[in-house]
Structure 1
């Protein structure tokens, strides 16, 4: 199980690097940039704890998945709310956010034991709306090749589609082969996560390149 764990650590390293990059360059940036920065910092904290607990006490870190998916849902719902110009879409984001929050609150109140398990309903209702928001963002900006946050949204859609499929299929514990090392579906989830973090890095690079060019033009 060492190799998949190392791959998971690579994803954690890329997440840390992205969080640091965005934090360092966050000053005087737009609200979407700041939301994305907060999102990366929160996810790094959860992922770090998940890796530590998972390594020391295997299969004891499932409860952290709730924080991961809920933090992601809150931060990115706010991100898309701020990015959408259409008032109807903004209203849909608010309605979905309230409905999901109420449902999960009631569910955990009625079944507290779910806190210690993977909650497939939680994964579905917090991931699928974000997937549709990301798809709409990409499609609506197809004509604008250089639109801000396109790399991020493409990475988000790819990662959410793959990870949600793995989780919701119930195959997250399935072993693909055991030689020369054990490899399961978590490995592929980690690979898609690394791709996601790479595209976030690309987004950071493009955004800051644009800012540098704009600063140069203003100085002349």
Structure 2
């Protein structure tokens, strides 16, 4: 009934249903997206020498599909395939910020917003306020909202239609983050350049994020 398998009534045999094909197509798309992202992630990592990641949105979670590690011994504990609540990460909030408000509200329906640290967004209204800021600024942040002591900035990646299909982030331990906004602005500007380059590879022809 869900389309995963199909029963041939005459032969009384089962075969793969359309949902399996649809799922395979989604996997192939994400695999291709990760491959297209690889040179841009590496270029950003080489420039910043910090961990750079790419994620997509699935429901109310962001799922990491590519990652390039920094050379520092102190690193972020994450992996490709890992999923985290979007409201608790810079990547996730950027992805949510490029959805319609009604879509964000629908995704949050019935979700208990767990506090992972004292900085985690705890209510839908706090999230709505934060993603409004992201829409205005063009980038998102995560300052110890999921992992204490880790600061993250994230920027959207667009496809040929201008739709945000992924987000790229740079994560850095707080101990390596300089005082004041200068270091953060450098991270944002660098990520923005590489996200724009990746977006152009995907066919986007816009001027800004």
TM-score (norm 2): 0.31
> Higher strand share goes to which structure?
2
> Higher helix share goes to which structure?
1
